[in-house]
């Protein structure tokens, strides 16, 4: 008598074989990366493979920034200036820190008032007055820009420490102070001159070079270094 045949037991397929037989998310992503814009890639770092529209709108602005400017923002700048959530800002700042370690430093040296004006050009059209410190290393390359005050420049409100403390924390060798005149007239006021004198004296005491104080308006600028012949500040007037 022939014994009835038993149904064959299903053969287990190793997980690794199953992954090889059908493309997974990682494989599809690899095929897609080259076609993605820089803004889309930044969005994927922040929010995964299918980022929401709001993330893409945010990263579109980040992608237009020069690399050195992105790096100089740090996590705090990403949060305060671009509205990135803190957890995502830390992730992105870490990514840019790695990129800086892997590739040569492409930060431009600020060797003239014109160089600084190009970096701070967005101040021209700011609707309210802002006072910004451009922090530089010992080769006059930008470390970061920091908004130190918002509102009319006034020696009774803006203390030298408000400007110099960020420079000391960043280990800056020099800095350029800039603020805008929304009125359109870049001519310095009496308060502008008083604050500039106080800043120069305080910067000398703490060993940080104040290279210039720039006033930007929509159709012009005023450079204390150019107009008043500052010497020994380390930049060359154009």
Which tens digits make up the pLDDT trace of 76-127?
A: 888 988 888 899 889 888 888 887 788 766 778 898 999 999 999 989 988 8
Count of positions (residues) in the chain: 238
Q: Flag whether pLDDT at 225 surpasses 60.
A: yes
Query: What gap in Å lies between CA 230 and CA 212, rounded to an integer?
Result: 8
- Domain borders along the chain are 25-102, 113-228
Query: What gap in Å lies between CA 205 and CA 208, rounded to an integer?
Result: 8
What is the sign of the dihedral through the CA atoms of 108, 109, 110 and 112? Answer: negative
Q: Flag whether pLDDT at 175 surpasses 50.
A: yes
Q: Flag whether pLDDT at 162 surpasses 50.
A: yes
pLDDT of residue 185: 92
Q: Flag whether pLDDT at 132 surpasses 80.
A: yes
Query: What gap in Å lies between CA 238 and CA 214, rounded to an integer?
Result: 14
Q: Are 132 and 146 in contact (CB under 8 A)?
A: yes
φ and ψ at 55, to 5 degrees?
-70, -40
| Range of lowest pLDDT (14-18, 140-144, 220-224) | 14-18
Q: Are 203 and 237 in contact (CB under 8 A)?
A: no
Class of domain 113-228: alpha beta
Distances (CA, A) of 116 to 60, 189, 236: 24, 21, 11
Which tens digits make up the pLDDT trace of 17-44?
A: 444 545 555 655 566 777 788 888 888 8
The model's confidence at residue 238, banded by pLDDT at 50, 70 and 90, is very low
User: In this structure, what token pair is assigned to residue 192?
Assistant: 């502008």
pLDDT of residue 15: 53
At which residue do the structure tokens 């074989």 appear?
17
Full-model pTM = 0.59
Q: Which residue has the higher pLDDT, 106 or 199?
A: 199
Query: What gap in Å lies between CA 136 and CA 36, rounded to an integer?
Result: 34
């Amino acid at each position: 008598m022939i014994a009835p045949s038993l149904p064959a037991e299903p053969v287990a397929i190793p997980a690794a074989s199953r992954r090889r037989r059908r493309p997974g998310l990682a494989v599809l992503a690899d095929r897609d990366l080259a076609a993605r814009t820089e803004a889309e890639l930044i969005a994927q770092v922040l929010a995964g493979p299918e980022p929401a529209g709001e993330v893409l709108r945010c990263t579109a602005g980040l992608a237009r920034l020069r690399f050195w400017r992105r790096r100089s923002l740090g996590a705090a700048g990403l949060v305060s200036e671009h509205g990135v959530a803190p957890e995502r800002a830390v992730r992105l700042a870490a990514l840019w820190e790695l990129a800086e370690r892997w590739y040569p430093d492409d930060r431009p040296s600020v060797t003239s008032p014109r160089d600084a004006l190009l970096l701070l050009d967005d101040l021209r059209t700011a609707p309210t007055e802002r006072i910004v410190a451009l922090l530089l290393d010992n080769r006059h390359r930008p470390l970061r820009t920091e908004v130190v005050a918002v509102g009319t420049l006034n020696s009774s409100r803006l203390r030298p420490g408000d400007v110099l403390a960020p420079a000391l924390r960043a280990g800056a060798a020099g800095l350029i102070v800039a603020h805008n005149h929304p009125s359109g007239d870049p001519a310095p006021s009496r308060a502008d001159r008083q604050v500039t004198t106080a800043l120069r004296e305080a910067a000398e005491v703490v060993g940080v070079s104040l290279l210039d104080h720039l006033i930007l308006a929509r159709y012009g600028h005023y450079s204390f270094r150019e107009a008043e012949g500052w010497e020994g500040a380390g930049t060359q007037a154009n």
